[in-house]
Structure 1
Amino acid sequence: MLLVTLAIVVLMASAPGSVAEVILGQNATKANVAALNKELGVDKPVFEQYTQWLSHALRGDLGTSPLTHQSVTTAIAERLPVTLELTVLAVLMALVLAVVFAVACASWPGSPLDRALTAVSSVFLSVPAFIAGPVLIYFLSVRLGWFPVMGWTPIGAGFGENLRAAIMPSLSIALVEIAAFHRLLRTDLIGTLGEDFIGAARARGMSRAYVMFRHAFRPSSLSLVTMVGLSIGRLVGATAVAETLFSLPGLGQLLITSIGSRDVVMVQGMVAFTGIVCVAVNTLADIGYGVVDPRVRRVAAA
């Protein structure tokens, strides 16, 4: 966390321009820019700026934007529901489709179905959000009219309309995750299905579906749990692209806007918050190992 937030300060300080130039406009004189920079405290050495920000952040104060005069905490709280909904929906979509694909492929490895689904997965893996978004807009919104082209409907205004506004942005960032989850789970399932205890279960006359979900799926999903935790960090970057493409009032769009306007305080606070979320999610993923596979709890206890 310290390295990430320090890197943000250094990178923003190295970029051309300053927040004072954004506030005063292009016609501002150098003297006016220098005076405002001094007033805002951005004329100090980078390390001094960082230690001052850190001392406030450790007390729960992430600062106030010099552009909007809004506290970073308030800005995050206002926009977090949009980003959170997109992220959760994308993870759920990715997990459901990846599990279906992986189970089908592992049940009949090397079959035409396996090759077809693997090919589809390869296509998904090659389509980033900034390409998937316009393609989905063209086919699902412009041609078919199923979803709105852009904009956001709060969940309080109607769950159905809210879901219609969230599906396409979530799907655009879920495609890569579907491919990653599917490939990982397929490989682990095929390996588990070749174990001796699976052969013993089949010899006792258990059905294919029972063996798959009762005996093979749980020990094969440890790597998937790790991947889901790590995907949160990737989705944060992807939501920034999706929120910009679909004009959604989320954290990603605020981050892109703040970077462009050299709002170091807002960028620092958002990066710190995102880092804390990623650490927390990965900690929960570690705890989830014991839930998925009791053998992990026994090893930890030993």
Structure 2
Amino acid sequence: MLAYIIKRLFSLIPVLLVVSIAIFLLIHITPGKPAAVMLGMEASEQEIDALNEELGFNLPLYEQYTNWVGKLFKGDLGDSIFMHQPVSEAIMEHIGPTLSLAILAQIIALIIAIPFGIIAAYKRGTITDYSLMGVSLLGMAIPSFLLGLFLMLVIGVKLQWLPVAGYEPLSNGLWTHLQYLILPGISLGTIQAALITRMTRSSMLEVLNLNFIKTARSKGLNEWKVLLKHAFRNAFLPILTVIGQTFGTLVTGAVVVESIFNIPGLGQLILNSIARRDFAVIQGVVLSVTVMYVTINLLVDLLYGAVDPRVRLDRK
């Protein structure tokens, strides 16, 4: 197990290298420079060149990249040009809302998806199965931001049950914290629930046709016990993979929903940084998100052995 973890950690290095090169080049070849944004449209070319020299943006790209990577090895993500603080501090200030939203959305997705997937598999070929799959297909087709706007209009504006937008930290109380996250959580969780539902149904159908399920039924075991204890447990590995991927997607892909609901998470941070050409923040956030996504996948791999003892990650 330890050898497997070390191997996966070392495999992270080339991934981060490719991501760092790609995002660095993409940002620096995009029109618009931080110095011009900072000084405004009335700034002269001499003033812009002087600020670029002060910030180090007049250096060749390879030299700027090596300087940035050298700081990374020291644990320094750089400093924000506009916020006047280290990038690591800016990320820590904005990661809390994003993680809270992602966790709530994942919980909502699992509450919806797992029962629906099991019922659809058990009732395969019936109107119940077709109805649930139709709903899941509709959930996959609706964009999260469109669903979010609809929820804002109906629940927030018309019914006034929940706040339309904004954010309150957990320190102000759990219910107050959740009130501002329920609508965006439903917007994101519903889309992920559709995918998990279809995977749960597919995985359950494969297991329900195996001989040990027929044996369990022939022994007279309760049908729900057969479904949950025997079938679902053996069908859980593919479902766990999708859960890990969807959670990584929720952490990395909530940019639009955070903007709509005015949640000060990583999505809002990176959007503001792109508008201001704050290179250090963009690079730091993208790199940090990549590390989180790969870490989540690693944790899912490690959970395989706990969920199914037949899986041994240290085997060649």
TM-score by length of structure 2 reads 0.92
State whether residues 192 and 220 of structure 1, in contact with CA within 8 Å, keep that contact through their aligned partners in structure 2. Answer: yes
State whether residues 203 and 239 of structure 2, in contact with CA within 8 Å, keep that contact through their aligned partners in structure 1. Answer: no
- Distance (whole Å) between structure 2 residues aligned to residue 261 and residue 221 of structure 1: 45
The answer for unaligned runs of 5 or more in structure 1 is none
- Distance (whole Å) between structure 1 residues aligned to residue 17 and residue 145 of structure 2: 30
- Distance (whole Å) between structure 2 residues aligned to residue 293 and residue 11 of structure 1: 42
Does 1:100 pair with 2:115? Answer: yes
- Distance (whole Å) between structure 2 residues aligned to residue 301 and residue 270 of structure 1: 35
State whether residues 128 and 173 of structure 1, in contact with CA within 8 Å, keep that contact through their aligned partners in structure 2. Answer: no
Q: Give the % identical residues.
A: 38
Question: In structure 2, what is the equivalent of residue 231 of structure 1?
Answer: 246
State whether residues 117 and 197 of structure 2, in contact with CA within 8 Å, keep that contact through their aligned partners in structure 1. Answer: yes
- Distance (whole Å) between structure 1 residues aligned to residue 303 and residue 248 of structure 2: 18
The DSSP-based 3-state class of the residue aligned with 1:294 is: coil
Does 1:134 pair with 2:141? Answer: no
- Distance (whole Å) between structure 2 residues aligned to residue 238 and residue 175 of structure 1: 14
Runs of 4+ in 1 over 6 A off after TM superposition: none
- Distance (whole Å) between structure 1 residues aligned to residue 164 and residue 130 of structure 2: 34
Equivalent of 2:62, from 39, 47, 50? 47
Moved more, 225-234 or 279-288: 225-234
The DSSP-based 3-state class of the residue aligned with 1:296 is: coil
Q: Report the alpha carbon displacement of residue 237 of structure 1 after superposing the two structures with TM.
A: 4.2
User: Which amino acid letter does the alignment assign opposite residue 8 of structure 1?
Assistant: I
Q: Report the alpha carbon displacement of residue 301 of structure 1 after superposing the two structures with TM.
A: 5.2
Does 1:156 pair with 2:171? Answer: yes
Does 1:146 pair with 2:161? Answer: yes
State whether residues 83 and 251 of structure 1, in contact with CA within 8 Å, keep that contact through their aligned partners in structure 2. Answer: yes
Question: In structure 1, what is the equivalent of residue 30 of structure 2?
Answer: 15
Equivalent of 1:176, from 191, 213, 226? 191
- Distance (whole Å) between structure 2 residues aligned to residue 160 and residue 83 of structure 1: 17
- Distance (whole Å) between structure 2 residues aligned to residue 249 and residue 23 of structure 1: 22
The DSSP-based 3-state class of the residue aligned with 1:290 is: helix
The DSSP-based 3-state class of the residue aligned with 2:180 is: helix
Does 1:265 pair with 2:262? Answer: no
The DSSP-based 3-state class of the residue aligned with 1:60 is: coil
The answer for unaligned runs of 5 or more in structure 2 is 1-15
Question: In structure 2, what is the equivalent of residue 287 of structure 1?
Answer: 302
- Distance (whole Å) between structure 2 residues aligned to residue 160 and residue 174 of structure 1: 19
Equivalent of 2:46, from 8, 31, 35? 31
Question: In structure 1, what is the equivalent of residue 102 of structure 2?
Answer: 87
Deviations 1:237-289 (A, max 9, x none): 43111110011111110011101111110011111111111111100000011
- Distance (whole Å) between structure 1 residues aligned to residue 70 and residue 197 of structure 2: 44
State whether residues 118 and 204 of structure 2, in contact with CA within 8 Å, keep that contact through their aligned partners in structure 1. Answer: yes
User: Which amino acid letter does the alignment assign opposite residue 209 of structure 2?
Assistant: G
Question: In structure 2, what is the equivalent of residue 220 of structure 1?
Answer: 235
The 3 A distance-change label for structure 1 pair 250 and 15 is same
Does 1:274 pair with 2:289? Answer: yes
Q: Report the alpha carbon displacement of residue 209 of structure 1 after superposing the two structures with TM.
A: 0.7
- Distance (whole Å) between structure 2 residues aligned to residue 67 and residue 33 of structure 1: 16
- Distance (whole Å) between structure 1 residues aligned to residue 144 and residue 74 of structure 2: 36
Q: Report the alpha carbon displacement of residue 134 of structure 1 after superposing the two structures with TM.
A: 0.6
Q: Report the alpha carbon displacement of residue 27 of structure 1 after superposing the two structures with TM.
A: 0.8
Deviations 1:215-252 (A, max 9, x none): 11122111111112222342234311111001111111
Deviations 1:80-127 (A, max 9, x none): 110010011111111121101101111111111111111110111011
TM-score by length of structure 1 reads 0.96
- Distance (whole Å) between structure 2 residues aligned to residue 260 and residue 86 of structure 1: 24
State whether residues 204 and 235 of structure 2, in contact with CA within 8 Å, keep that contact through their aligned partners in structure 1. Answer: yes
- Distance (whole Å) between structure 2 residues aligned to residue 227 and residue 93 of structure 1: 15
How large is the Cα RMSD of the aligned pairs? Answer: 1.3
Question: In structure 2, what is the equivalent of residue 204 of structure 1?
Answer: 219
The DSSP-based 3-state class of the residue aligned with 1:153 is: coil
- Distance (whole Å) between structure 2 residues aligned to residue 300 and residue 13 of structure 1: 42
- Distance (whole Å) between structure 2 residues aligned to residue 232 and residue 214 of structure 1: 25
How many pairs does the alignment contain?
301
Equivalent of 2:255, from 226, 236, 240? 240
